[in-house]
Structure 1
Amino acid sequence: MDDESRPSKKPRGGAGSGLTAFALRMAKQLDDVEGDGDGAKKNNLVFSPLSLYVALALVASGARGDTLDELLALLGAASREELAEFARGVAERALADQSAAGGPRVSFACGVWHEKTVTLKPAYRDDAVDAYKAETRAADFMNKAEEAREEINRWVCKATNDLITSILPEGSVHSRTGLVLANAIYFKGSWSLPFDKELTVTRWFRRLDGSRVRVPFMSSSRSTEQAVAQYKGFKVLKLAYAPHRIPTWDESPFEMRRDEREKKHGVRHVSSSGEASARFSMCVFLPDKRAGLPRLVDKMAAAGPSFLWNHLPKDRVEVGDVRLPRFKISSSSELKPVLQAMGVEAAFDVGRADLSGMLVAGRLVLEQVFHRAVVEVNEEGTEAAASSACTMVLVCARYGPTPDFVADHPFAFFVVEEVSGTVVFMGHVLDPSEHAE
């Protein structure tokens, strides 16, 4: 079967599909930002689409009008309710911790800090707590902005097991800050089939620009079975993380065990509640050409969410040489210009922003969206963390944007008496350097 026509493994439409499309578009946008004129990337890139998606969905929960429409378009959802239902499901299932049963350690935290002199609307607070599992807290941004910033950063540090020590840089919180939304995700998983450290060797890694660097490569034994799929122009390796332990469906000798049934039929275990159990893996998309990554990123972004899921390996096959470099990368971004380029403009515009669903009184405008992520991959598995924060400022409802007035070219002036409507003096200034005698 042609790879482009293979059925998707994920349901089409809805916020779940929107997350994948958002991830691919964001990767493309960040790749362009980090690159130069010939498309070559300058830096490594890591980010958490889920962390960003949930942060922006929580903004959308309080948005109205064009502001809401732009956010829904970006997130690929039909309504705030759809986003809330998606967030609720993710928090309860995909981000449920599995470490007690031998699976990955996963944690998710979400927080809403509001200026103590303003009040959250009950409906927004309830939505944040119920769907997004958020804590809500009052903060003294007006008088103690730096202390509030440090408190939020400590919260993120604790939630990410110290992998991310801060999300809000200096100056990002000030006396006009009205609301800060933040979340944090932590993941630590062991490979289902760990790499043998004795097989790790240092080899050359070729960069996009043709230069080389020596790095440690993890290797598997030759002629082993791995989940690998080959396509035109690229191949995909899927490395599974050790799952949490689940009893077999039936201990009868006439029934196959769960892992045998999954391998043969491609089905997933379903819990007693009817929900599919979370199953984590790392998927590596490797272009055939050394400088082929920018083109592959473009192709993935253009194709949409089905591209990722349609190209994951289905079966384990016997392979020869499998090498993957150990790596630890981190990134930090201020995403306002990126999101504006992706169509979110009203939320950042003081004259157009409609975030009226958040506060009982007072107007808000989105000031900045911050994101940090870190991931480390080694022979045992993966440890990763991410945090996103949206800062919003209070604006006076009576005024629009603060205008500029720079009289750096010829102008007219009038001296008037307003009650009688009398023009006392008037004139034009064409060259203020000229002086009367």
Structure 2
Amino acid sequence: MESTATTNPLACGGLTALSLRLLGELAETGASTNLVFSPLSIYAALALTAAGARGVTLQEFLAVLGARSRDELAEIIRGFTEQILADRPLTGGPHVSFACGLWHDEARKLKPAFCDAAAHSYKAETRAVDFREKPGEAVNLINAWVAAATNNLIDSILADGQVSDQTDIIVVNAVYFKGMWAGPFNKEYTEDDKFHRLDGSTFDVPFMQSCKRQYIACHEGFKVLRLQYKDGHRRCSPPSPFSMCVFLPDARDGLSGLISRIVTSSSSDFIREHLPTSLVTVGEFGLPRFKLTFSSDMSSVLQRLGLQVAFDLKEADLCDMVEDDGTGMPLALERIIHKAVIEVNEDGTESAAATISRMKGMAAPNKNAPVPVDFVADHPFVFFLIEEESGAILFAGTVLEPSPSVPGEKLLRGGSDCSVDDDVDIGPVQCQLTSENANRSLLASLRHCLRCLFG
């Protein structure tokens, strides 16, 4: 039987809807900064909290998450953890680590049924700490747990002062992903070039380059690049179901318009509908290396999305989470804390969020050959790291200012990245180019390939 994540349309429908709403809110709030977050991790943390909610509080959780009941949420998360979050490092596939934890003050005893649901459906840890008398110790415990869950890529998520004697419950989510490209980039071709900021200024960043065929689709106003991750130790291993998808606006200042188009689309499957499905011949190609870190208390964002009662001490109903201690003390959610790190380079992607070609000689240009397609991400873009079989979005974000080159770094030249794989058919080019642009793209491709072959 297929897992829930594949068979239940609500599973990824609710996740996708939340992903895009979060993208819209976070991109607008931080319109001048880089962004990376894990919608899947946030979704799971909210679902875990919903397992202890009742009444209006529960209904708000279900509305935000796009589910009909707590049981359905638990089934969805089980599908995610069994299929999408399955770790594959021993087979050469992506290393995926997902951790969700709930910390509660020791004065509040969790109900056994809630603890059982947290452990079995959400693979979550629940721990009692002394928020009131030892808040600093609680911070250290949570940070150590997060560091262990993310292979130390994230060494802390809480700062001093973010926990007080009024804290009852803190939900923390952490995701780690490390995947190697199915078709890695040759580091010897990486070279600095100009990246254009939204304000029109430029600065030098290292661009990964290639003249291999790529999965690129051209649409009105934007292009999409799809980079697959490997799923095996052998060179002939098929790609994994994970891929990095870069949505690049045609206009250098077109990021906000593209995000608005993605977020407000009448289609709930906008991202998957616009992914490239065919390999195309590449003209000029450049993708910057980047490393992004994002940390935020998501509470205000989630309240704007409709999750309000859970944060209200007078109205929140989380009685299925804690035992009645007879004091009548109210319980409400105080924080949803999220931190994500992602690094994209020539080898692949590491986040706390393709073809292996043979070298052949370059033949004379064929006038009937497909028109090369340019993809140069030299201005702000939006990206998604997705699991293609389900459509689940593990990471999403925007790159407004990629990491610059390390001062004094020497980039070598030469190599043989320009090989052609005759076992893969070149699909039709999915955009129209004027003859002038086509000639310019062809010349750029020829120059790049000559450099690949002869250094």
TM range (shorter): 0.7 to 0.9
Of 8, 11, 14, 1:15 maps to 11
Given the two structures, how large is their TM-score scaled by the length of structure 2?
A: 0.72
Is 1:296 the counterpart of 2:258? The answer is: yes
* Amino acid across the alignment from 1:32: E
Which residue is 1:217 aligned to? 207
Which residue is 2:245 aligned to? 283
* Amino acid across the alignment from 1:235: K
- Report the Cα distance in structure 1 between the residues aligned to 2:128 and 2:313, rounded to whole angstroms: 24
SS of corresponding position for 2:118: helix
1:179-218 aligned at under 5 Å gives the runs 179-218=169-208
Q: Does structure 2 retain, via aligned residues, the 8 Å contact 1:356–1:363? A: no
Is 1:128 the counterpart of 2:118? The answer is: yes
The number of aligned residues is: 344
Of 343, 350, 365, 1:383 maps to 350
* Amino acid across the alignment from 2:257: R
Cα 1:279–1:245 change in 2 (3 A) is farther
Which residue is 1:93 aligned to? 83
- Report the Cα distance in structure 1 between the residues aligned to 2:352 and 2:147, rounded to whole angstroms: 10
1:29-428 aligned at under 5 Å gives the runs 29-34=25-30, 41-221=31-211, 224-244=212-232, 279-303=241-265, 304-361=267-324, 362-385=329-352
Q: Does structure 2 retain, via aligned residues, the 8 Å contact 1:14–1:82? A: no
* Amino acid across the alignment from 2:277: K
Q: Does structure 1 retain, via aligned residues, the 8 Å contact 2:175–2:340? A: no
SS of corresponding position for 1:284: strand
* Amino acid across the alignment from 2:230: A
Q: Does structure 2 retain, via aligned residues, the 8 Å contact 1:45–1:329? A: yes
Which residue is 2:410 aligned to? none
- Report the Cα distance in structure 1 between the residues aligned to 2:279 and 2:7, rounded to whole angstroms: 24
Q: Does structure 2 retain, via aligned residues, the 8 Å contact 1:236–1:313? A: yes
SS of corresponding position for 1:114: strand
- Report the Cα distance in structure 1 between the residues aligned to 2:139 and 2:102, rounded to whole angstroms: 13
Deviations 1:321-360 (A, max 9, x none): 2210001111111222211211111111112111111001
Which entry has the higher C-alpha Rg, 1 or 2? 1
Is 1:28 the counterpart of 2:59? The answer is: no
1:10 Cα offset (Å): 7.5
Moved over 3 A (4+): 9-13
Q: Does structure 2 retain, via aligned residues, the 8 Å contact 1:24–1:305? A: no
- Report the Cα distance in structure 1 between the residues aligned to 2:195 and 2:8, rounded to whole angstroms: 37
* Amino acid across the alignment from 2:334: E
1:118 Cα offset (Å): 2.3
Stretch moving more, 160-169 or 175-184 = 175-184
1:178 Cα offset (Å): 2.3
Cα 1:132–1:339 change in 2 (3 A) is same
* Amino acid across the alignment from 2:56: D
Cα 1:98–1:312 change in 2 (3 A) is same
Which residue is 2:363 aligned to? none
- Report the Cα distance in structure 1 between the residues aligned to 2:126 and 2:199, rounded to whole angstroms: 48
1:183 Cα offset (Å): 2.6
- Report the Cα distance in structure 2 between the residues aligned to 1:10 and 1:305, rounded to whole angstroms: 16
- Report the Cα distance in structure 1 between the residues aligned to 2:182 and 2:256, rounded to whole angstroms: 30
1:378 Cα offset (Å): 0.5
Cα 1:315–1:83 change in 2 (3 A) is same
Cα 1:212–1:322 change in 2 (3 A) is same
Given the two structures, how large is their TM-score scaled by the length of structure 1?
A: 0.75
- Report the Cα distance in structure 2 between the residues aligned to 1:348 and 1:181, rounded to whole angstroms: 13
- Report the Cα distance in structure 1 between the residues aligned to 2:168 and 2:91, rounded to whole angstroms: 41
Cα 1:358–1:189 change in 2 (3 A) is same
SS of corresponding position for 1:322: strand
* Amino acid across the alignment from 2:347: E
Runs of 5+ in structure 2 lacking a partner?
A: 354-393, 395-455
Deviations 1:155-203 (A, max 9, x none): 1011111111111222222223222222321111110000011111100
1:240 Cα offset (Å): 0.4
Q: Does structure 2 retain, via aligned residues, the 8 Å contact 1:355–1:363? A: no
SS of corresponding position for 1:165: coil
Runs of 5+ in structure 1 lacking a partner?
A: 1-8, 35-40, 247-256, 263-277, 388-437
Q: Does structure 1 retain, via aligned residues, the 8 Å contact 2:216–2:278? A: yes
1:50 Cα offset (Å): 0.9
1:141 Cα offset (Å): 2.1
* Amino acid across the alignment from 2:206: P
Cα 1:258–1:207 change in 2 (3 A) is closer
1:239 Cα offset (Å): 0.3
SS of corresponding position for 1:21: helix
Aligned-pair identity in percent equals: 51
SS of corresponding position for 2:96: strand
* Amino acid across the alignment from 2:254: G
Q: Does structure 2 retain, via aligned residues, the 8 Å contact 1:227–1:239? A: yes
Stretch moving more, 297-306 or 96-105 = 297-306
SS of corresponding position for 1:330: strand
Alignment RMSD (CA, Å): 2.1
